[in-house]
Amino acid sequence: MTVVLIGPPAAGKTRVGKRLAKRLHLPFVDTDAVVVAQHGPIPQIFAEHGEAHFRTLERAAVAEALVDPGVVSLGGGAILDPDTRADLADKRVVLVTVEPEAIADRINNAKRPLVTDLESWKRLVAERRPLYESLADYTADTSRRPIETIVEEIAAWVEDQQPAQPDTEGHS
């Protein structure tokens, strides 16, 4: 089984994904972390080679991450790639959201080249919202709830999605 977390920058995909994987006893992959491990810091990739090059590296990391079962947290913009969107069709896709009011503290660093302040975050999310929503099978908001509650809610949904177990007593 593969559960894929998508959503805007700083929504909580990495943090929630890591804990969800533990809860479901599945391996965890964060595609931003894979790109960083293979190619160095994301702001540096953007600065030296541009966004298009980053998207190429990201697409390769996503394709690889989706091969084996697990929980996979995607970078915020990974769903801009049509091949990635096609790959999500047969996966359980969770959209992780956050409201602008909760975001200010979370984006207060230099980690995200496309998000420099609240206005740029809002603009980017408004542009992508239809795409995020069209891909989502389930949505979990992280604005005001402790992470344990959010993870438990997603895990319950995932477990609910499991195909029915065969009847071991032979009844039809």
Ligand X SMILES: O=C(O)C1=C[C@@H](O)[C@@H](O)[C@H](O)C1
Residues in binding site for substrate: 32, 55, 76, 128
Residue 137 contacts residue 93 (beta carbons within 8 Å): yes
Q: Give the residue numbers of the binding site for Mg(2+).
A: 14
118 contacts ligand ATP (rule: CB under 6 A): no
42 contacts ligand X (rule: CB under 6 A): yes
Residue 9 contacts residue 115 (beta carbons within 8 Å): yes
76 contacts ligand ATP (rule: CB under 6 A): yes
What is the edge-to-edge ordering of all strands in the sheet holding 138-141?
Answer: 28-30, 70-73, 2-6, 92-97, 138-141
* Sequence letter at residue 78: A
14 contacts Mg ion (rule: CB under 5 A): yes
13 contacts ligand ATP (rule: CB under 6 A): yes
Residue 81 contacts residue 75 (beta carbons within 8 Å): no
The binder of ligand X chosen from 7, 12, 17, 76 (CB under 6 A): 76
HSE on the CB side for 23, CA within 13 Å? 21
User: How far is C-alpha 134 from the geometric centre of its chain's CA atoms?
Assistant: 14
154 contacts ligand ATP (rule: CB under 6 A): no
Cα–Cα distance, 95 to 137 (Å, whole number):
8
Among ligand X, Mg ion, ligand ATP, none, the one that 113 touches (CB under a kind-dependent 5 to 8 A) is: ligand X
Q: Give the residue numbers of the binding site.
A: 10-15, 32, 55, 76, 112, 128, 145
Tell me, by CB under 5 A, how many residues bind Mg ion.
Answer: 2
Which residues in this chain contact ligand X in the complex, by CB under 6 A?
9, 32, 42, 75-77, 112-114
Which residues in this chain contact ligand ATP in the complex, by CB under 6 A?
7, 9-15, 32, 73, 75-76, 106, 111-112, 142, 145, 147, 150
